[in-house]
Structure 1
Amino acid sequence: CLPAELVNRPHLEGFKPTADMSFTIEEKGRPNTQEYRVYFKNSEGKYISPFHDVPIYANEAENIFHAIVEVPRWTNAKMEIATKDPLNPLKQDVKKGNLRYVANVFPHKGYIWNYGAIPQTWEDPNHKDSDTGCCGDNDPIDICDIGNKVCSRGEVIKVKVLGTLALIDEGETDWKVIVINTEDPEAGSFNNIDDVRRLKPGYLEATVDWFKRYKVPDGKPENQFAFNGEFKDRDFAIETVKSTNEFWKALIAKMTNAGELNCMNTSVSDSPFCCSAGDAEAVVKSVSPFYF
């Protein structure tokens, strides 16, 4: 489903991950305000973009991916990667001038998984998906981690892909990839979407219900789905993730129009958006310090 110019394009040197993949966060501003931000650092203590600098793969040979946790399970604040801000920190979404919180849609409390995104992916808003018939939503691809651990905001986890749900959100393709944290004690038992149905009965049905109705309290209609709301399997999901990585490669290499997206990064050496560690530090220093 990729356009011809993205097919069989050679691997770029700047996309190779470094050996040590540990990450930390640094909070700025007051929590629960529009100024609050969560910035990311690599193992050397240098500021990075979670969108562009955290490698998509934790283990490419085994299709283990990195994922950025934006919203821990059971919480309501709609935190997200700020795709239009320099270095793409986490921030809380704002609608009509107010901070956005997801309503508790009975019987659910907040988000029912650890919710986040896979780095170095992009759902291209100019590409119409051949399966869904809709263009991408201009964000990294979303994940729902079904593991037992309640993760922390900004945590970078390694995940196995199990399947995917194709949400059609206000006319845009918005893939929801079902994953499990590889550190979960039960991770070895989960290898495909049918394992979720068998070992966590009701979870997939609850996931469809949640995504269908979570905007209704805001006065919006129920969301729709491609494939009649059926989950696609692991192989389909992995190929979907990989295709969004190809769109990201075109984005970061300036082969496609970024629009309002900020592609500032510190590690993709072949990218025209690559900046120095000093430039990245200057961005963070310009932001208000963290305080309660």
Structure 2
Amino acid sequence: MICHYDTLKVGNSNTLEYRIYVTRNGTPISSFHDIPLYCDSRETVLNMVVEIPRWTNNKLEITKDEVLNPIKQDNQGNKPRYVRNCFPYKGYIWNYGALPQTWEDPNFTHPDTEAKGDNDPLDVCEIGERVGYPGEVKQVKVLGILALLDGEDTDWKVIAIDINDPLASEFNDIGDVEVHMPGLLQATKEWFRLYKVPDGKPANKFSFNGEYKNKAYANRVIEKCSHAWCHLISTQGHGIAVANTTIEGSPGYVTHITQGLIPELPIQQQLSPGSIESPIDKWYFINAAQL
């Protein structure tokens, strides 16, 4: 059956109460657990849930502790969190999101990075030309991966491209990005290195001296995180809500919303955005003395 994904929005955007639920064929589902990782039998095309569209600053993310794992606005100091613009970048420079049915196990120390997983689904930077929207399910192909070190954790960043992008056929591995989009990989690494500095945090570091790993390596990481998710969904734990409508036999499986484990959700609400107190259009200029 062909699935049609859409979104159900609840509350005012730019507020901590805002939620975006992913729906399939009109029914709310878990954006973490109910969308298959692969959408073809050869496992060459993957589903990606867009959290943050390119050029935007709202730090939106899939919730781990709420039923059906809606996308919400992250908070900083009990206020909505926005990523700063580190010159010359404006917001996120790609469509940013996550691979469903993956999990970076915080109990697993990767032998190459010597750091544990960050307890999140795998992050994705989708580099195609069309700007996505929060809650969109894009079909992408993997090109490579970058190993960001977020404190003591490994925070992998998968590099991928929308299979419907006009240039998608030209991209088959990480080396093709520099050929067709010169400068983007370096900009991506610099973006991740600096984006927390305006908030008073140190510059981020990377494994492999900041070297991107190729498609084959990325696929091995994805496979490992897919297996970790299979363990998570069958055992629960780590403060992650595992309610789902598709994984029969799992502890969180329910057949429909009205069974009680999943409450009735509000109808779509067309509410005006909340006011933004943070100066999200400001550019921050960072020099070596700040790092």
What TM-score results when the alignment is normalised by the length of structure 2?
A: 0.90
* Structure-1 residue corresponding to 2:244: 265
Contact 2:98 2:123 in 1 (8 A): yes
* Structure-2 residue corresponding to 1:283: 263
Residue 129 (str. 1) matches residue 88 (str. 2): no
Q: For residues 83 and 279 of structure 1, do their structure 2 counterparts lie closer, same or farther at Cα, with a shift above 3 Å needed?
A: farther
Q: For residues 287 and 124 of structure 1, do their structure 2 counterparts lie closer, same or farther at Cα, with a shift above 3 Å needed?
A: farther
- Deviation per residue, 1:145-179 (Å, 9 max, x gap): 00011111111000000000000011110000000
Partners of 2:66 and 2:271 in 1: how far apart? 21
* Structure-2 residue corresponding to 1:10: none
* Structure-1 residue corresponding to 2:128: 147
* Structure-2 residue corresponding to 1:175: 156
CA-CA distance at 1:288 after TM superposition? 9.3
* Structure-2 residue corresponding to 1:36: 18
Contact 1:266 1:274 in 2 (8 A): yes
User: 2:19 corresponds to which letter in structure 1?
Assistant: R
SS of structure 2 residue aligned to 1:58: coil
Partners of 1:271 and 1:239 in 2: how far apart? 25
RMSD of aligned residue pairs (Cα, Å): 1.5
Give the alignment partner of residue 104 of structure 1, picking from 66, 78, 85: 85
Partners of 2:27 and 2:9 in 1: how far apart? 14
SS of structure 2 residue aligned to 1:249: helix
CA-CA distance at 1:270 after TM superposition? 2.2
Deviates more, 1:276-285 or 1:49-58: 276-285
CA-CA distance at 1:259 after TM superposition? 2.0
* Structure-1 residue corresponding to 2:69: 88
Contact 2:10 2:266 in 1 (8 A): no
SS of structure 2 residue aligned to 1:57: coil
Contact 1:266 1:280 in 2 (8 A): no
**% identity of equivalent residues:** 46
Q: For residues 284 and 167 of structure 1, do their structure 2 counterparts lie closer, same or farther at Cα, with a shift above 3 Å needed?
A: farther
User: 1:117 corresponds to which letter in structure 2?
Assistant: A
Residue 211 (str. 1) matches residue 192 (str. 2): yes
Residue 68 (str. 1) matches residue 83 (str. 2): no
SS of structure 1 residue aligned to 2:86: coil
Partners of 2:143 and 2:7 in 1: how far apart? 28
CA-CA distance at 1:21 after TM superposition? 2.7
CA-CA distance at 1:272 after TM superposition? 1.3
CA-CA distance at 1:277 after TM superposition? 1.2
SS of structure 2 residue aligned to 1:207: helix
The answer for unaligned runs of 5 or more in structure 2 is: 273-291
Partners of 1:246 and 1:69 in 2: how far apart? 22
CA-CA distance at 1:280 after TM superposition? 7.5
- Deviation per residue, 1:230-262 (Å, 9 max, x gap): 0000000011111100000000011xx522111
Contact 1:115 1:145 in 2 (8 A): yes
Contact 1:86 1:264 in 2 (8 A): yes
Contact 1:40 1:47 in 2 (8 A): yes
Contact 1:29 1:287 in 2 (8 A): no
* Structure-1 residue corresponding to 2:169: 188
Q: For residues 205 and 284 of structure 1, do their structure 2 counterparts lie closer, same or farther at Cα, with a shift above 3 Å needed?
A: farther
Contact 2:5 2:137 in 1 (8 A): yes
The answer for unaligned runs of 5 or more in structure 1 is: 1-18
* Structure-2 residue corresponding to 1:78: 59
User: 1:283 corresponds to which letter in structure 2?
Assistant: P
Q: For residues 86 and 252 of structure 1, do their structure 2 counterparts lie closer, same or farther at Cα, with a shift above 3 Å needed?
A: same
